[in-house]
Structure 1
């Protein structure tokens, strides 16, 4: 559609005759006829009067027309040439924003997938610690494991000491998401003194899948794929 065709359509829709619109513009009807038939190109002043008579904005009109046609036929009109330049600048800005968005998506995708894959952020390991019993004040923290070696006296006395330790056994298990080493000591909260403790020994390590790591990997793959596709589209567009 040409500029003349579009403005003629607008004149018809607003129920203006050609003579009425020409009078409103302050031009001859024959000249308006040439403008609508694209046999003459309007000056900047005539175009402004034409649009004003139809109560139209330049941006709204030019948005309806093909860019190639505007460059080929109407770029000699200063207001249209300025509009085309502005559109080009805005297009370059949008293209740069899309380029930055593509690079940002790729930059975010790599660490997100890495964190999800290596489980550094959301640890999936569950450490099972077991304490054989309460350690009394003054006793060795390894009393339950080393009772025979720590006891003095005859073999019978040492054996009896070992049996006493076995009777005191009261195992307790802790499942922790944090690694506390091969063993650690913890005071007993309900005891009368902090000197009563338990020694916990690492027994097993379990793996518990966490949805956060799966989500991080999925988001990483999505952002990476989206960023690469967008980048390829932008590169192809620039080559044209």
Structure 2
């Protein structure tokens, strides 16, 4: 992921978290306590200075009583366009038995499998597509001419 895109995703996440916290009528300290994170860390997330892990996002979502999936999308962990594999990705992210590094590795492997399968599907489609009428180059030179070369 490009560095600029990560910054935008985190900034967008921070703004969204602040909106949700304010609408839930929670102070920064109250939300931090409910989510089990420090007040300064939560403040840095809201200001777009830190990118929280999926586990921290899940804790914040639970404290705010909102969808963790929305936070994952805003943080750039999930893509809103990836409807097919979302349940697999969410299962990985929600598994408390995995470390953050293991979760990211599994997500990377899963994404690479999807990309490989998509590339194979494109190749198969190109192989089975009807070929356009192929013209023999010699046909171009003799087309419309008689045996002696005159039209």
Q: TM-score, normalised by structure 1?
A: 0.33
Q: TM-score, normalised by structure 2?
A: 0.48
Which protein is bigger by CA-based radius of gyration?
Answer: 1
Which is strand-richer, 1 or 2? 1
Which is helix-richer, 1 or 2? 2
